[in-house]
Amino acid sequence: MTLIFSTASAAENPAAKKVEKRVAINVANLTMAFYEDGVKVAEYPLGLGRTTTPTPVGYFKILTKEINPPWIDPQDPEYIVSSGPENPLGYRWMQIFGNYGIHGTNRPDSIGGYVSNGCVRMREPDVEKIFDAVEVGTPVDITYNRVVVEKIPDGSVVYSIFPDGYGWQEIDAAYVNRWLEPYGVAPFESDAQIDEKIQLSDGKPTTIGKPYNIEINGRRVNPVEANDKNFLAKAVQRDNINYLPAVPMAMALKTRLEWRAGEGTLKTAYGTVTGFESKNQIYCNADDAIILFNLDGGLQNISDNPADGKVFKFYVADKKLERKVKKEQAAQAKPAAETKPADDKKSDKKKSKDKKNKKSSEVKVQENEPIGNS
């Protein structure tokens, strides 16, 4: 059973307000991350509670701090060990809840395992750094997450899956996909690859790709819903190829888009290109944006400061061509005449019957109207 405690009220919940400093502990991967202004600046290995005396999860905060703390035997309160090399608490103590705290250890070899009575053990140099960095009141979040997804400094999204040390969390590919989707990279890791990674559960990171936002004529492309499906709106760079999400871009441009699964092609009034489909998401190569969407542009810095990251910026390449296509689309969307010659009606019925009987691998993302509005 998962133990959940809290020393912070709802109003003090670190998730409910912005804080300058925060400690985040993941029991599943035995690590502590230290954040300043929302940026992870350090990560440390830990020794945590045994399965019989698990480290509690929940929202806490630093309640007290003490240098050179004495150790009191929980089984015999009269047995006290003063500060020194024999003291199991090392030389720093930070209380977070009751008798639970973050502290050093005289057994550095125990770091990286489930070894304590529930407290958080750290190597002495590490705990002294954290002790100096935090104040009383600093939030401490303790979670149990076997799936860890993060964006590393070069912009790549990586994910790791850790063993179920406490037996608290069974996971499957669908669960992992829910963690990957907000980053926009889920379609680029197959369920088979995820299943294999779950079987290993070795905590090793796997790089998926680099996601980027997209702008067309200065307006950001957003996720959309079409044909009862949700479409992600991130461009993804993987294996030196830049993949663009075709459906959200078509909707932003208010243009018709057709996906032919059997041929693996995407078609608009501008042209036809090779497409890529995975997990109900459809992509094209960024190099083909000029053919498929009449768009020019590419990956650019968000600002003069490279640290701010990059974004795909596109603009209409040929405005005359765009006006021509829009005019043709508008004409095609007009309703047919109410009356037709008898021969034409018979012909229409025959065509309709033939269409129903014809089997086709062609899937139209867009039928007679633009996919949607920007």
Catalytic residue among 24, 46, 62, 119: 119
Q: H helices of the chain, where? A: 124-133, 173-180, 191-200, 246-253, 289-293, 319-333, 342-357
Using an 8 Å Cβ cutoff, are 216 and 203 in contact? no
Side chain identity at residue 192, one-letter code: A
Q: How far is it, in rounded angstroms, from Cα 116 to Cα 106?
A: 12
User: Is 119 one of the catalytic residues?
Assistant: yes
Using alpha carbons, select from 75, 76, 119, 114 the residue that is nearest to residue 97: 119
CA angle 46, 19, 92 (to 5 degrees): 35
Residue 179 makes CB contacts below 8 A (sequence gap 6+) with: 147, 149, 159
Tokens representing 214 are 């997209």
Using an 8 Å Cβ cutoff, are 344 and 326 in contact? no
Q: How far is it, in rounded angstroms, from Cα 314 to Cα 286?
A: 10
Q: How many Cβ atoms from other residues are within 10 Å of residue 203's Cβ?
A: 15
The sign of the dihedral angle between the CA atoms of 197, 198, 199, 205 is positive
Q: H helices of 57-203, where? A: 124-133, 173-180, 191-200
CA angle 117, 118, 123 (to 5 degrees): 90
Q: Give Cα 363 to chain centroid, integer Å.
A: 29
Count Cα neighbours of 335 within 13 Å in the Cβ-side half-sphere.
3
User: Is 103 one of the catalytic residues?
Assistant: yes
Q: How many residues does the chain have?
A: 374
Catalytic residue among 61, 65, 92, 103: 103
How does DSSP assign 169-192, residue by residue? ----HHHHHHHHGGGT-GGGS-HH
Active site residues: 103, 119
